[in-house]
Amino acid sequence: MRQIALYGKGGIGKSTTSANLSAAFAENGLDVMQIGCDPKHDSTRMLMHGRWIPTVLEQMYERKDLEMDDVIFTGFGGVRCVEAGGPEPGIGCAGRGIIATFQLLEKMKALNGDVVVYDVLGDVVCGGFAMPMRDGYAQEVYLVTSGELMSLYAANNICKAIARLSERSTARCRLGGVICNSKNMDNERELVAEFSRLIGSKMVQFVPRDKAVQAAEVNQMTVIEHAPASPQADVYRGLAKTILANDDLRIPTALDLDELEKLARAYL
Ligand code: ADP
Ligand code: SF4
Ligand code: MG
């Protein structure tokens, strides 16, 4: 079983990329599970045709004897969808939802199939959000970033977390590569490719900014389902193929802030 995690800044396109990736894996006949690990809990919405599925945390607040059907929902292409969820605003720890979700899925023996895709917020890489990497779930991490400095900054912080966690025996996570989800900036492809090289990794896919994504979103579908013949759908299929073939997993070396800013200036 491959366990793949997409990490990146909020709003960068993790859920869009994760859902299309899961859909592309499913098209290839793979048994796929996608776990949303962002308190925003909208990771699987496009796979679920707009439905906000109940989160593991909210189900746990309500009942003790949860069954698989209470927290695992079947979406497009048979992808099994789970949302960890978040705490009530103002109380509790967001990372707790992630921990509780994994414990429950393990207890149910539901963490199986060919591929598990974890969609994880990377603005904070505290113990809670590092949990999928820390406890051996996410074995391959892909950073989702654009060429914007704050997005690279978040990706760089995730590199620091991977490097630190790789010193632990329980953490088997490595960096699989960088996905550039474009914001249509000048020299963005070159900038993100160079960032990837400097951290000791590689850019695995350049995903263009494309209105096919919005068209699919307003129709509550992934691009793979809504516009299967579009070039953007092929980009996501290409990403799925590259990830499946990728066995080049690295411990990254994060840049210091000065280096990161210098890099961003050089590609303006
Ligand atoms: P995240 O999960 O990282 O918070 P989302 O996947 O929800 O981000 O994406 C944020 C917004 O950006 C969404 O409205 C989505 O439609 C849009 N978006 C993401 N990737 C692309 C893309 N390649 N082209 C156009 N719009 C995109
Ligand atoms: Fe939980 Fe992380 Fe927030 Fe701390 S920073 S309360 S560990 S989510
Ligand atoms: Mg998201």
Band of the pLDDT at 94, cuts 50, 70, 90? confident
99 in contact with ligand 2, CB cutoff 6 A = no
pTM of the model: 0.96
Q: Which atom of ligand 1 is nearest to 181's Cα?
A: 23
The pLDDT, as a whole number, for residue 252 is 97
Ligand nearest to the CA of 13: 1
Classify residue 216 as left (phi > 0), alpha (psi -120 to 50) or beta: alpha
Pick 195 or 136 by higher pLDDT: 195
Structure tokens at 114: 């060919």
- From 31, 40, 70, 202, active-site residue: 40
Residue 123 is a catalytic residue: yes
**94 Cα–ligand 2 center, Å:** 6
Mean pLDDT of 100-108: 93
pLDDT digits (tens, 9 = 90+) for 138-183: 999 999 999 999 999 999 999 999 999 988 867 789 999 999 999 9
Q: Is any atom of ligand 2 closer than 6 Å to the C-beta of 50?
A: no
Residue 124 alpha carbon to ligand 2 centre in Å? 8
36 lines ligand 1 (CB under 6 A): no
d(CA 15, CA 181): 12
Contacts of 136 (CB under 8 A, 6+ apart): 170, 171, 172, 173
Q: Which amino acid makes up residue 129? A: F
Average pLDDT of span 12-25: 98
Compute the 3-state secondary structure of the chain and give helix, strand, coil in percent, each to the nearest 5. 45, 15, 40
pLDDT per residue as tens digits for the range 203-253: 999 999 999 999 999 999 999 999 999 999 999 999 999 999 999 999 999
> Rounded to whole angstroms, how far apart are CA atoms 35 and 244?
18
Q: Note if 234 is an active site residue.
A: no
* Mutation to probe ligand 2, out of 124, 125, 134, 135 (largest number of atoms < 8 A from CB): 124
Among the bound ligands, the one closest to the CA of 97: 2
Residue type, 153: Y
Residue bearing tokens 């308190």:
39
Find out whether the beta carbon of 213 lies less than 6 Å from any atom of ligand 1.
Answer: yes
Say whether pLDDT at 17 is over 90. yes
Predicted interface score ipTM higher than 0.95: yes
Amino acid 108 reads M
Q: Ligand 1 in contact with 222 (CB < 6 A)? A: no
